[in-house]
């Protein structure tokens, strides 16, 4: 059974069956008696800006990656009925914690309540900032760079999934009602296959609460909705990006992940580079790329000159103390220097290969195709802007290309 995942406005993801007869991958799971039972994996939602886990550690529903499995009991919902009320906050549907409903405020004294009923043929997964029980995956705002002590002063991500009541753009067509969330839920399908490294960044669109696709508004919270896009859908494909105005999620299908590297594959690539015993031309010491994300200061830590790509150890040669720039002793190019760090989140890779490139200015290493793909992906930023970022730390990219080819002095014995 091949399943498709669709995106629906109020941070709700649901799936339905595809009748083409192909099979979804299954994973083994042990039951209470120790016997293995299959679990159907739909795919993974991965938050851009984290290199394998949250700085404080992944705990419960708060983590950098969400794995979506078929539920033991279907959790989906579908529209049941809708009606007009004068005080939505006191309506029975809103007050009933067991009733799945959405309230659309049309004016000060009029709102439309849309009630949903259980759907025994689908699963649903809800994403939002709230830690209340209806939320499956708790997502907080992603800050660029080192997030160890970072604090978000004011979040722009919605607290609730489908059970929300907010002022937003909405409209009523015939007997159906639809709307956009306050800051919008945006979606971008890559052009081409994500795995293989030949995909290109597609156009960003906005998904409504009902799942329809629209062109972007003039700004994230503009009252005028965009134009409907009838020839595009909200069906997620491998590599689709979902922006929640504060955090961006990457969807990786179970089928696509089968063609992506595993964490163990990435660790082996690090071992292969270290086996070449790359040296610092100044200190003549052997450089070692650490396998852990939290690297700290160490004598064998490699650094890269961002203007030329030469990899060296820590030293004070050629340093301009007034600007912090350094002159590369290999080519005499002057520019910034940054610590090298392996990109360890496998879902961000578009192919499998040696990590011969690094993002500028953060220094996260990855394959050439992976670095070049993300350097050309526009991520929503602010009210109506876009910028390319490193997927491993969300740092905005610098330079003409946003990346640098690494030049090691290795295999010298």
Q: What is the pLDDT of residue 297?
A: 57
Do 271 and 220 reside in the same domain of the chain? Answer: no
Last residue of a domain, one of 208, 242, 259: 259
Say if 19 falls within a structural domain: no
Task: Work out how many domains the chain is built from and give that number.
Answer: 2
pLDDT tens readout for residues 175-194: 578 888 888 889 999 999 99
**Residue 175 sits in the same domain as residue 214:** yes
Enter the DSSP assignment of 397. Answer: P
pLDDT at 168: 58
If asked whether residues 253 and 268 sit together in one domain, one would say: no
Where does a domain end: 259, 283, 309? 259
On the CB side of 289, CA atoms within 13 Å amount to 29
- What is the rounded CA–CA span in Å between residue 207 and residue 236? 12
- What is the model's pLDDT at position 132? 72
All residue ranges of the chain with pLDDT < 50 are 1, 11-30, 160-165, 167, 412-413
- Rounded to whole angstroms, the Cα distance separating 69 from 43 reads 7
The pLDDT of residue 164 is 25
Does some domain include residue 87? no
- The conformational region for residue 370 under phi > 0 = left, psi -120 to 50 = alpha, else beta, is alpha
Residues 351-370 have pLDDT tens digits of 999 999 999 999 999 999 99
In the prediction, which pLDDT does 8 show?
A: 63
Both 67 and 171 in one domain: the answer is: yes
N-to-C CA span, the chain: 54
Query: 315 and 230, same structural domain?
Result: no
* Domain encompassing residue 2: 1-12+36-76+119-259
Instruction: Tell which of 203, 230, 259 closes a domain.
Output: 259
Contact 407, 314 (CB under 8 A): no
């Amino acid at each position: 059974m091949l399943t498709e995942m669709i995106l629906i406005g109020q941070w709700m993801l649901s799936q339905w069956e595809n009748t083409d007869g192909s099979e979804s991958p299954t994973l083994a799971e042990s039951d209470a008696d120790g016997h293995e039972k299959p679990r159907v994996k739909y795919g993974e939602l991965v938050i851009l800006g984290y290199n394998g886990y949250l700085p404080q550690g992944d705990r419960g529903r708060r983590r950098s990656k969400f794995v979506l499995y078929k539920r033991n009991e279907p959790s989906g919902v579908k529209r049941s009925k809708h009606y007009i009320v004068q005080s939505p906050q006191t309506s029975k549907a809103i007050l009933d914690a067991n009733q799945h409903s959405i309230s659309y405020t049309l004016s000060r004294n009029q709102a439309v309540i849309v009630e949903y009923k259980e759907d025994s043929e689908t699963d649903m997964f809800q994403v939002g900032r709230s830690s209340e029980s209806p939320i499956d995956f708790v997502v907080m705002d992603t800050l660029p760079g080192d997030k160890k002590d970072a604090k978000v002063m004011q979040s722009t991500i919605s607290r609730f999934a489908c059970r929300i009541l907010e002022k937003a753009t909405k409209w009523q067509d015939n007997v159906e009602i639809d709307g956009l969330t306050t800051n919008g839920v945006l979606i971008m399908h890559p052009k081409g296959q994500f795995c293989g490294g030949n995909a290109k960044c597609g156009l960003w669109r906005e998904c409504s609460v009902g799942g329809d696709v629209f062109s972007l508004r003039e700004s994230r919270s503009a009252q005028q909705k965009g134009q409907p896009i009838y020839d595009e859908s909200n069906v997620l494909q491998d590599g689709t990006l979902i922006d929640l105005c504060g955090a961006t999620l990457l969807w990786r299908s179970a089928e696509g992940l089968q063609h992506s590297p595993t964490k163990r594959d990435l660790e082996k690539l690090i071992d292969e580079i270290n086996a070449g015993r790359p040296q610092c031309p100044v200190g003549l010491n052997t450089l070692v790329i650490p396998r852990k994300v939290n690297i700290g200061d160490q004598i064998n830590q490699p650094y890269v000159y961002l203007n030329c790509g030469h990899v060296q150890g820590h030293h004070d040669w050629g340093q301009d103390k007034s600007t912090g720039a350094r002159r590369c002793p290999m080519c005499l190019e002057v520019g910034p220097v940054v610590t090298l760090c392996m990109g360890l989140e496998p879902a961000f890779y578009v192919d499998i290969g040696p990590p011969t490139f690094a993002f500028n200015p953060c220094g996260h290493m990855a394959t050439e195709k992976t670095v070049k793909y993300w350097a050309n992906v526009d991520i929503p930023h602010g009210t109506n802007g876009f910028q390319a970022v490193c997927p491993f730390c969300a740092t905005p990219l610098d330079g003409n290309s946003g990346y640098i080819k690494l030049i090691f002095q290795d295999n010298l014995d």
